[in-house]
Amino acid sequence: MTTSTSPGTCTAVVGLHWGDEGKGKVVDLLAAEHDTVVRYNGGANAGHTVVVDGQKFALHLVPSGILYPGKLAVVGNGVVVDLEKLLEETEALEARGVSTESLVVSSRAHVVTAYHKLEDEFRERLAAGDGGGSAIGTTKRGIGPCYADKAQRATAVRIGDLLRPDALHEKLETACRFKRALLEGLDAGEALDADALTSRLSAVGERLRPRITDTTYLLHDQLRAGKRLLFEGGNATLLDVDHGTYPYVTSSNCTALGISTGTGVPGRGLDRVVGIMKAYTTRVGAGPMPTEQKNETGNRIRERGREYGTTTGRPRRCGWLDLVATRYSVMINGVTDVALMLFDVLAGFDQIQVCTAYDVAGERTDRFLPDGIDLAHAEPVYQSLPGFSEEITAVRARRDLPATAQKYVDFIEEFLGVRVSIISVGPGREQTLLA
């Protein structure tokens, strides 16, 4: 299957909401017309679900492009890698007949260790101790502590270090010294034993050796050879550490803006940015969500959309589409076209609400508030659009959607100022309408 637009040299796929928009399905679709699929941010906190020939694959670290034979799959320097999860994932793929031979990992990507996960949990518990106000509701995958160590430098371990056991041991001794002081009183077992960690990590390093490389040079070599690259954003725009609803965000640059630092490929090479949005809005974890529906509407969306986390299994918070937030994300990412996902979930509502502005302290605004504390004071202003009663999972062309469903898509296009080029009406590859 190919899309109607011709592929550029570089395409990015980024989530426009708070994650779980269905990026995996779109990456899988676009991978067909690219040579290489690249992850540039985040780690095992991301969860991409792809259904191929009725088989469901839940990927966390391995780029979704791996499901297409012959594509190079790259984990860039901006990713934080949980080695055990990576091995688990590659083994599970191999066991299901998917070759992972083409997977390579940047020697400069950072390593998530057992103590990062302990620290993540410890910090969340401590924050929740004050009444839960400052807990972020993280995935507890050690993402924040690992990125913090990357910025701290003295306590960081990179993939390339795994191949230098002496230097690795020294780094882990320093890191354990710091972490023991921080996690005082916690029974950490081998998670804070530098000797045990060194032997575990160097053994994994040996297994990974053929995959470890300088991915920056590799990607530039590919570009020079005329290859087409597809960048797969983990997490999503409103979780971006700089541009999201801080502090209720993850710790990386999830937007297309993170591609340059997370891979070493300059932004000017990017000629298509596909923004992925749901037909409604969801969020996992803490933080403001102006359109959240803690009622029958929210429950109906959750059940029809099977809105439970791929990574943690947590029920997702569900609500109406927030177009103010989505338009901000379109702007930040330089989105060229949009994929509208999970449209089938909205079938059966008489009226569908979309948020087109906020009321903040008596003032109306059509601007997003990219700050978690400010956004908590935003009251959504809705426009009501007619719904559609028919199920649309079997529809295969935009013009065959019910008239009111077509109007919903037109409204989104007009409000965002970009084309909806992909509409998804179910999890399967074939349940995709290309405009």
Please report, as ranges, the residues that interact with ligand IMP according to CB under 6 A: 18-20, 45-47, 136-139, 141, 143-144, 235, 239, 250-251, 284-285
CA dist list (Å): 388 to 35, 64, 343, 344: 39, 32, 11, 10
82: left (phi over 0), alpha (psi -120 to 50) or beta: beta
* Cβ proximity of 43 and 49 under 8 Å: no
- Is 121 or 359 the residue whose CB approaches ligand IMP more closely? 121
Residue 48 falls in the annotated catalytic set: yes
**Residue 352: partners with Cβ closer than 8 Å, 6 or more residues away:** 320, 321, 346, 384, 385, 386, 387, 408
- Is 141 or 327 the residue whose CB approaches ligand IMP more closely? 141
Indicate the SS3 state at residue 351. strand
Please give the structure tokens belonging to residue 293.
């529906």
In terms of Cα–Cα distance, which of 268, 334, 336, 257 is closest to 5? 336
Which residue number is nearest to ligand IMP in terms of Cβ?
285
- Is 137 or 288 the residue whose CB approaches ligand IMP more closely? 137
Min. distance of Cβ 199 from ligand IMP in angstroms? 28
Min. distance of Cβ 372 from ligand IMP in angstroms? 10
Residue 377 falls in the annotated catalytic set: no
Residue 131 CB neighbour total at 10 angstroms: 8
**Catalytic hit among 20, 120, 161, 322:** 20
CA 281 – CA 353 distance, rounded (Å): 11
Please give the structure tokens belonging to residue 129.
């101790």
Min. distance of Cβ 48 from ligand IMP in angstroms? 8
CA 380 – CA 400 distance, rounded (Å): 32
The total number of residues written for the chain in this structure: 435
Min. distance of Cβ 163 from ligand IMP in angstroms? 28
- Is 309 or 402 the residue whose CB approaches ligand IMP more closely? 309
**Catalytic hit among 17, 28, 34, 48:** 48
- Is 41 or 77 the residue whose CB approaches ligand IMP more closely? 41
In terms of Cα–Cα distance, which of 265, 268, 267 is closest to 220? 265
Give the residues across from 365 on adjacent strands.
358
- Is 143 or 218 the residue whose CB approaches ligand IMP more closely? 143
- Is 7 or 22 the residue whose CB approaches ligand IMP more closely? 22
Give the E-state strand segments of 76-167 in sequence order.
80-82, 103-106, 110-112
Pairing of strands 351-360, 281-283: unpaired
* Cβ proximity of 62 and 73 under 8 Å: yes
- Is 284 or 324 the residue whose CB approaches ligand IMP more closely? 284
Min. distance of Cβ 204 from ligand IMP in angstroms? 22
CA 302 – CA 295 distance, rounded (Å): 11
CA 194 – CA 201 distance, rounded (Å): 10
* Cβ proximity of 422 and 343 under 8 Å: no
CA 181 – CA 117 distance, rounded (Å): 16
Min. distance of Cβ 143 from ligand IMP in angstroms? 4
CA 183 – CA 148 distance, rounded (Å): 15
Min. distance of Cβ 136 from ligand IMP in angstroms? 5
* Cβ proximity of 253 and 260 under 8 Å: no
Min. distance of Cβ 47 from ligand IMP in angstroms? 6
* Cβ proximity of 330 and 340 under 8 Å: no
- Is 3 or 251 the residue whose CB approaches ligand IMP more closely? 251
Min. distance of Cβ 22 from ligand IMP in angstroms? 11
Under DSSP, the state recorded for 68 is S
Which residues are tagged catalytic?
20, 48
